[in-house]
Structure 1
């Protein structure tokens, strides 16, 4: 499919999906930074998913889209959570490669080129489906960092996904491979394990992190802990139940 980019008709190389809930204070700067980081990479689109915001997030997003034909806005009438917002954005994406980042501004958009490069390269391995960011020097509260470290350690021991930081919003992946994954709430925290479950190769890129400039987090440590245990058990079950079988065409090239 095609989209208009900077006054020209070009094939969209990649899509950026940003879930947002009550991020009116962050949206303008984030869009500007994404434009600066991604324009040199070729035609792209940015999809902002308004996940049931009660502030002016959607109004500001629509205002920004008027001067940016590559910016699209999707709305959830009520909040479905980050995984639901990412899923909606990917469903609407026009490009075969999709990157995500959080809407709170803590994921610096200038990290996107490093995530996208392995997948956009002409020599990209056919089995590489996910490039996952891993935060260094996190700028969160001490309690949030400790809770995340404990959760990541437990997840790594149970799932063996080889990823130290699955909560990082900076990720890039093949759209079709993502849409083939089982979808559930909080899915975004288990993408490395789920991609590996389907036989895909995963790469990791260290990324920077910065403090939130406006607004407040939509989750607290207790909420994350309670849903995390339940989800971890479910994902472990999914991994055990998957039997990977690769079909081979046996009639290809046969004599007439």
Structure 2
């Protein structure tokens, strides 16, 4: 039987963070039913691959995929979702800032939302980033909400739970993971929100910087706005009964 949940974790150079996060995922998902953990090593050059290999030796539910060269977080997430065997997928960042303990709450929210619910978006509370990073996040989120009207205050949180088929139907582009609420709503699905407590990363330093994403983020925002405007209505498909 396929697992109930596929937990997808994109990582690049996260040696030292692998084992503690896997232990937390096991503790959170074990009581829920069968699950799998899919790590996507996005071209790491440190000891990430070795740590994953050691952990997978006695964990048949831990799967390892690798990009030969770094392709970015959205590409890694897509690789993991396409490989997932469960109908429901959870994503979270590999640095430990996203606490897997909130996964049961997110699953309960999706189940309570019924068939119309497509995505449960985590919203961080008590951000542990630097003051500058929190300021840039507030500004970026304010602009995004005003342009896209997606009803979400924090799309940058990596902790998301969604239906696999809903994700695979979205138009793919780099940074898709940051615009999922707007695009899931565009396709006629409900987006549910769950507050999650943010934590400092376990070890290491962030792989992302402000100026790495500033101009690309503006272009992406305008592109997503265009996709929303050009979607006039969501088709409701009914199969005709046989005579």
TM range (shorter): over 0.9
**Which residue of structure 1 aligns with residue 151 of structure 2?**
162
Q: Distance in 1 between matches of 2:225 and 2:58?
A: 46
Corresponding position of 1:95: 86
Give how far 1:111 is off.
Answer: 1.3
Q: What CA distance in whole angstroms lies between the structure 1 residues aligned with 2:80 and 2:239?
A: 37
Distance 1:227 1:31 in 2: 32
| 1: CA distance, partners of 2:231 / 2:133 | 33
Q: How far does the alpha carbon of each residue in 1:198-234 deviate from its partner, in whole angstroms, 9 at most, with x for none?
A: 0101100000111112111111112222221111011
Task: Provide the rounded CA distance (Å) in 2 between the counterparts of 1:208 and 1:21.
Answer: 23
In the alignment, the residues of structure 1 paired with residue 189 and residue 95 of structure 2 have an alpha-carbon distance, to the nearest angstrom, of: 29
Unaligned runs of 5+ in 1: 3-10
**Does 1:22 pair with 2:5?**
no
Residues 170-212 of structure 1: CA deviation (Å, up to 9, x unaligned): 0000000100000000110000000001010110000011111
Counterpart in 1 of 2:209? Answer: 220
- Choose which of 55, 62, 75 in structure 1 pairs with 2:53: 62
Residue 71 of structure 1 is matched in structure 2 by: 62
TM-score by length of 1: 0.92
SS in 2 for 1:131: strand
1:228-243 pair list within 5 angstroms: 228-243=217-232
**Residues 1:209 and 2:195 are matched in the alignment:** no
SS of the residue aligned with 2:147? helix
1:182 aligns to what? 171
Q: Report which stretch shifted further, 26-35 or 215-224.
A: 215-224
TM-score (norm 2): 0.97
CA–CA distance in structure 2, aligned partners of residues 124 and 178 of structure 1: 17
Gaps in structure 2 of 5+ consecutive residues? none
Deviation at 1:243, TM superposition (A): 2.6
Structure 1 runs, 4 residues or longer, greater than 6 Å off? none
CA RMSD of aligned residues (A): 1.2
Q: Is residue 126 of structure 2 the alignment partner of residue 137 of structure 1?
A: yes
Does the 8 Å contact 1:84/1:185 carry over to 2?
A: yes
Secondary structure at the aligned position of 1:126 is classed as helix
**Partner SS state of residue 125, structure 1:** helix
